[in-house]
Structure 1
Amino acid sequence: MTDRVYPTSKPATKETSPLNATNGGTTTVNNPFPANKAQLRPRYRPQPPPRRRRSCCCRCCLWTTFIIITILLLVAIAGVIFWAVFRPQKPTFSVSNLQLSQFNLTSTSVISRFNFTVSARNPNARITYFYDPFSISIYSNDVNIGDGSFKNFVHGSKNTTVLKTVVASSGENLESTDIATLRGDIKNKKSLPLKIMLETKVKAKIGSLKTKRMRIRVTCEGGHVAVPTGKTPTTAKTSGIKCEVDPRIKILAWSF
């Protein structure tokens, strides 16, 4: 009897693929190696930043805008109510009398004396004005020919106050061009064009509320006065003199 010999290992197996038949309808495919662990990890993709901070900024901007609009609306409503209740108006000034009793012009200076009267009227029914002392300057073609002042006073509601003072120049030195300008007006026009400026500070009392002091300037223009030849003073025509009241608002070093 013959002994049979069995192989100790199995022959390599082959897989056939019916779809890719190249040799008699079969194709030999070896088993691939197992995939690497690194290849199984998903690819990293950076995520966009969260939008929470952006939404918070938008909310803050919207609320800030809303608050500002609300404040402006309330201020406008309060202004309308204030105007309807108090009807505030600026005080008015007018030149009641202006006389030139002395005017001596030398080669370097001018000596003058004016009798000056102003009427101040407060047209408001519920507002009282408190004036500081006034400073007064009279100019002729931008040449200062006299200075003076008014005392401080209280200007009651619906009240007209008459203020009188003397405005004079005691011989301050002037430029030669200023002297020539004054001589030309006296020789050719027989009179001097006048510009009167009053400056002071004022505060107002509105009901029980008092405002801060504010600087104001009163400018009166349109007057002419003849130079006296003797001891009799000359009187300016006040009907053509118009006065304007302007607040002087100071921002840093500038006044408007």
Structure 2
Amino acid sequence: MAAYQFAGDFAAPPSKHRNKGGDRLCSCGIFRCCFGCCWRIFRCGLGCLCNLVCQIICAVLVIAAIAMLIVWLLFRPSNLEFRAGEASLTEFSLAGNTVRYNLALNVSARNPNSRLEIIYEDIEAVGYYHGQEFASDRLPAFSQEKETTRTITAEFEGQKDVSLGDEARANYEEEKSSGEFPIDVKVQLKIKLKVWLLTSPFSLKPSFDCDLNVPLNSSGKSYQGTDCTFDWRNIDLH
């Protein structure tokens, strides 16, 4: 019995070649398993971190927006006031479909609010003649303190092709004879409100419209200042 067991044990020695291969396969499998697990853990952690950061940013924006809404409701900001006080028109002529122009316009911008500072991020003035756009000018950004007035200047110079109907052309001839032209200047704003150290996280896009009758400088007539119409527009959350 003992001999049989010894013979059986002797007849089935472990294969060194097979074990070496098995060790290699086992080692590679463990490496791939560990690498895959680490990579999945890293991706999961990175994704969780990104989600956390996004949630924090969204929460801060929402809180800031709610705070500014409360400020808006508490202080009820008054409309900004604009007046086109000075205008100089040295050239305005129509030849065929081409308008040639040279207009300088000084506009006084007043912030009547006692607690709100206005941050002008973008200002674009566009000139229209009988409903046709003929000129534009982008003005520099600035900040305006509470209860202050500041003068901004729009300058239009150049030429542009416009599409005028027969009635508008007939009106032009009459206006040329009188030396005075109806020019509509629309100004689009992009602003933020500031209360103490808190600045609104969103932008407002109000506009104002100056409906002018501007005489040519050579006509000898004087320009009469014009109050502009202010209008609150939409809120830009970007």
With the shorter chain as reference, the TM-score category is 0.5 to 0.7
Aligned to 1:236: 223
Q: Deviations over 1:146-197 (max 9, x none)?
A: 32221100011111111123122x2221225276255244256542112210
State the TM-score, normalized to the length of structure 1.
0.57
Aligned residues of 1:225 and 1:234 also touching (Cα < 8 A): no
Q: Counterpart of 1:226 in structure 2: which amino acid?
A: P
User: Are positions 1:175 and 2:190 aligned together?
Assistant: no
Report what 1:99 is aligned to: 88
Select the structure that is richer in helix. Answer: 2
Q: Decide whether aligned partners of structure 1 residues 233 and 217 sit closer, same or farther in structure 2, where only a CA change above 3 A counts.
A: farther
Q: CA deviation at 1:250?
A: 6.6
Task: Give 4+ residue runs of structure 1 displaced > 6 Å after superposition.
Answer: none
| RMSD, matched Cα | 2.9
Per-residue deviation, 1:90: 2.0
1:216 pairs with one of 206, 211, 220: 206
Instruction: State how far apart, in whole Å, the 2-side matches of 1:216 and 1:124 are.
Output: 16
Aligned-pair CA distance for 1:129? 0.7
- Compared with structure 1, are the counterparts of its residues 87 and 250 closer, same or farther at alpha carbon in structure 2 (3 Å cutoff)? closer
Which letter maps to 1:220? C
1:63-82 paired onto structure 2 within 5 Å: 82=73
Q: Which residue identity lines up with residue 120 of structure 2 in the other structure?
A: Y
Contact 1:136 1:167 in 2 (8 A): no
Aligned-pair CA distance for 1:105: 1.6
Distance 1:109 1:235 in 2: 26
SS in 2 for 1:111: strand
Residue by residue, what CA displacement relative to the aligned partner does 1:197-241 show, whole Å, maximum 9, x if unpaired?
0002001012333221111111122x3123455xx8864211xx2
Instruction: Give yes or no for the alignment of 1:194 onto 2:179.
Output: no
Q: Which runs of 5+ in 1 are unaligned?
A: 1-74, 252-256
Work out the CA distance in 1 between the residues paired with 2:154 and 2:72: 40
**Alpha-carbon offset, residue 98 of structure 1:** 0.8
- Aligned-residue sequence identity (percent) comes to 20
SS of structure 1 residue aligned to 2:228: strand
Specify which of 124, 139, 150 is matched with residue 113 of structure 2: 124
Counterparts of 1:1-256 in structure 2, within 5 Å, are: 82-83=73-74, 86-168=75-157, 170-177=158-165, 180-181=169-170, 183-187=172-176, 189-211=178-200, 212-221=202-211, 223-229=212-218, 235-238=222-225, 241-249=226-234
2:28 is matched with none
Question: Given the superposition, is the C-alpha separation of residues 213 and 176 from structure 1 closer, same or farther in structure 2, using an over 3 Å criterion?
Answer: closer
What's the counterpart of residue 50 of structure 1?
none
Residue equivalent to 1:14 = none
Q: Which residue of 2 aligns with 1:13?
A: none
1:69 matched residue in structure 2: none
Q: 1:8-59 CA distances to partner (integer Å, 9 max, x unpaired)?
A: xxxxxxxxxxxxxxxxxxxxxxxxxxxxxxxxxxxxxxxxxxxxxxxxxxxx
Number of residue-to-residue matches in the alignment = 167
Whose Rg is larger? Answer: 1
Higher RCO (C-alpha under 8 Å, 6+ residues apart)? 2
Structure 2 gaps, min length 5: 1-65
